[in-house]
Amino acid sequence: MKKLTDYFGQNIEGKRIVITGGTTGIGKAIADLLISLGGRVVIFGRHHEDFKNAINDIKENFPDAEIYGTPADVTIKEDIDKILEIVDTKLGGIDILINNAALGAPGITKETFENYKYIIETNITGYLAFSEEATLRMRTQKSGHIINIGSMSAESRTGESTIYVATKSAIRGFSTSLRKELNPLGIKVSLIEPGAVTSDMQTDSKEEQQKKIEKMEMLEAEDIAMSVLFCLSQPKRCDIVTMQIRPHLQII
């Protein structure tokens, strides 16, 4: 029997990978790691400047990278179709989908209807839409892996972030059900639920976030990228169904 070290990171080369929200934070860290291992990657995000910066950074650090994408919003059907056209044209299919695009949100009394409707469409509908499209492509090859980036908010359920809690609780339920639907088709589904992670979604300044990292109260995006790689590196017989990762001193 092979050791896990024989698998770890060795199966990424040539894989066709889509990362939603792949231009900043956790998504960008995942893109960097999988590209460094030879993955063929499509990334996108809402903001043109973030997309341009991400692509330039990847090409500078990985000159031979096969990286594609365009600015796009997961709540807009035309943008989804635009990404899928790139996927089909440049990659010819999907082996790995990382559902990551999401927005932070406050309590229900602190947000307008239109704003939290948009957050729900981003944090939930976006995951559903890309999971559907990935499944259509994966089931013909009877293999694939969908990783949903959730949040420990689905468990801690703090009162000051009720909208975000609602969306991440939905992703927890969706992931459980999706695995039951897709496993018979040869498609793996994993849920990764991080605790506090440094990102532009945090209300703390970058300096405050760095202090929390040093105090072991906050994770770095690269920590989540390594968790994704661990899920992807398992032998076919082994599913990582749910992974929770939190800072050492974040007591939930």
Task: Look at residues 129, 65, 64 and name the one whose alpha carbon lies nearest to residue 97.
Answer: 129
Catalytic residue among 68, 116, 127, 164, which? 164
**Residue pair 127/171 in contact by the 8 Å Cβ criterion:** yes
Whether 116 is a known active-site residue: answer no
Helix axes 221-232, 25-36, angle to 10 degrees: 50
Question: What Å distances lie between residue 155 and 20, 22, 151, 168, 250, CA to CA?
Answer: 23, 25, 8, 9, 13
Structure tokens at 1: 């029997």
Between CA 250 and CA 245 the distance in angstroms is: 10
DSSP H or E stretch at residue 202: none
Question: What Å distances lie between residue 153 and 150, 193, 196, CA to CA?
Answer: 8, 8, 9
Between CA 121 and CA 177 the distance in angstroms is: 19
Task: Look at residues 28, 46, 7, 26 and name the one whose alpha carbon lies nearest to residue 232.
Answer: 7
DSSP conformational letter for 160: G
**Residue pair 103/73 in contact by the 8 Å Cβ criterion:** no
**Residue pair 175/128 in contact by the 8 Å Cβ criterion:** no
Residues labelled as active-site residues: 164
